[in-house]
């Protein structure tokens, strides 16, 4: 009997060790350090300030999802002021807390080199979330929606929306807005949109009446609504006293609503205005025929993808990426998992948000 128990124990131990590919306890520990980590480990999540609904909801999704997966989440937002320094401090505190993975939605992707180097030195894996971290070899993975594609979809939506709204026009008056210059995504969105719009500006189909077409001229510091609204006020007063504005490229929903607010305050008709993020107020506006489009980048899926990576790392498995070669951050090519964004207008809103408890009800009736 005793023999049988011992034999069973031995078989169990051998099986367990065989599963980890190791032959002794110390080897198992060493291997875990190199290729995996304990199931209850701390996972840090450093998010930027809440400049859009997607970041506002990501925090709870990470806390709940990581906890459900058995990890100990340490989720922190950068506050609205002194944001970069505070995010740097938060990442350092996650390292001190022994985080095995640190997921970062960068406030300023070019100012985290020291922190991610410290994370790497402490043995933590760094995952860039939604926004790429630049000019450092210490970013292990990137998980995001295809942000250049977001820009292309926005540019195409602007063109298609104006063609449908003004079928007799042969040319259109537009203005361009971009996001915050400290967010790498802002340039990526703008580049994607200009791939579609620049040829139409060159052939005269589109006229940027203000002449402001350079990224630097059209950015919106901090992604703040008031900055977009006051720039739109200035553009309307300076260039549209007697000229009709047909369309505005807006990089996200928060800014789209600010731009529409400015236009409404000036007593002008609503032009075609693009957006991004599927924010509830913008989905309502789209259904009311005011904002033209948004982009569906379901935050639940992006967070789930990041948590899936953490699980793979914990188990010492190969991390699943679907774009190993396109994302050069200036120091290395960062293996990436990309999700596809989707354009949403009034025509496909109900279908796009089917099953989304927050958005589907807004598309009815």
314 binds ligand BGC (CB under 6 A): no
Answer yes or no whether residue 83 interacts with ligand BGC by CB under 6 A: no
Of the two residues 130 and 140, which places its CB atom closer to ligand BGC in the complex?
130
Phi, psi of 275 (to 5 degrees): -160, -165
Residue 52: CB minimum distance to ligand BGC, A: 3
State the minimum distance, in angstroms, from the CB of residue 15 to ligand BGC.
45
Which residue's CB is nearer to ligand BGC, number 57 or number 117?
57
User: What is the end-to-end Cα distance of the chain in Å, rounded?
Assistant: 72
The answer to whether 238 touches 213, Cβ cutoff 8 Å, is: no
Q: Map the footprint of ligand BGC across residues 263-282, applying CB under 6 A.
A: 276-277
Work out how close the CB of 360 gets to ligand BGC at its nearest, in angstroms, rounded to a whole number. Answer: 20
- Of 60, 170, 184, nearest to 133 by C-alpha is 184
Does 252 participate in binding ligand BGC (rule CB under 6 A)?
Answer: yes
Q: Is 87 in the site for ligand BGC (CB under 6 A)?
A: no
Q: Please report the beta strands in 87-134, taking only residues with DSSP state E, as ranges in sequence order.
A: 101-104, 125-129
CA distance 213 to 217: 7
Q: Which of 52, 156, 250, 314 binds ligand BGC (CB under 6 A)?
A: 52
Mapping DSSP to helix (H, G, I), strand (E, B) and coil, where does residue 328 land? strand
336 binds ligand BGC, rule: CB under 6 A: no
What is the distance between the alpha carbons of residues 61 and 45, in angstroms, rounded to a whole number? 11
Taking the complex as a whole, the smallest distance from the CB of residue 296 to ligand BGC amounts, in Å, to 11
Of residues 112 through 151, those in contact with ligand BGC by CB under 6 A are: 130-131
CA distance 24 to 114: 37
Closest residue by Cα to residue 179 from 258, 111, 115: 258
Footprint of ligand BGC (CB under 6 A): 51-52, 54-55, 130-131, 179, 183, 185, 223, 252, 276-277
């Amino acid at each position: 009997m005793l023999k049988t128990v011992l034999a069973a124990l031995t078989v169990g131990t051998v099986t367990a060790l065989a599963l980890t590919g190791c032959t002794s306890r110390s080897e198992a520990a060493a291997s875990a350090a190199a290729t995996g980590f304990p199931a209850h480990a701390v996972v840090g999540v450093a998010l930027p300030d809440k400049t859009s609904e997607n970041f506002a909801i990501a925090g709870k999704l990470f806390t709940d999802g990581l906890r459900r997966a058995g990890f100990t989440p340490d989720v922190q937002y950068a506050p609205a002021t002194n944001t970069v320094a505070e995010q740097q401090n938060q990442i350092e505190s996650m390292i001190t807390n022994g985080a095995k993975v640190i997921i970062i939605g960068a406030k300023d992707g070019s100012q985290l080199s020291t922190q991610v180097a410290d994370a790497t030195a402490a043995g933590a894996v760094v995952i860039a979330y939604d926004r790429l971290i630049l000019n450092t070899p210490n970013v292990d993975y990137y998980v995001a929606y295809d942000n250049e594609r977001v820009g292309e979809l926005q540019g195409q939506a602007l063109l298609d929306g104006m063609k449908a709204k003004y079928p007799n026009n042969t040319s259109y008056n537009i203005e361009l807005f971009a996001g915050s210059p400290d967010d790498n995504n802002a340039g990526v969105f703008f580049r994607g949109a200009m791939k579609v719009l620049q040829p139409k500006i060159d052939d005269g189909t589109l006229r940027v009446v203000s002449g402001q077409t350079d990224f630097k001229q059209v950015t919106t510091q901090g992604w703040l609504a008031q900055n977009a609204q006051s720039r739109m006020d200035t553009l309307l007063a300076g260039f549209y006293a007697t000229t009709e504005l047909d369309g505005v490229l807006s990089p996200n929903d928060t800014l789209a609503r600010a731009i529409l607010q400015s236009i409404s305050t000036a007593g002008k008709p609503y032009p075609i205005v693009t957006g991004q993020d599927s924010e509830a107020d913008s989905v309502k506006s789209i259904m009311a025929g005011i904002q033209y489009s948004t982009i569906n980048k379901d935050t639940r899926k992006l967070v789930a993808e990041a948590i899936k990576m953490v699980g793979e790392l914990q188990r010492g498995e190969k991390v699943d990426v679907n774009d190993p070669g396109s994302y050069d951050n200036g120091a290395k090519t960062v293996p990436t998992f990309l999700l596809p964004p989707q354009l949403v207008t009034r025509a496909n809103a109900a279908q796009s948000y089917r099953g989304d408890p927050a958005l589907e009800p807004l598309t009815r009736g």
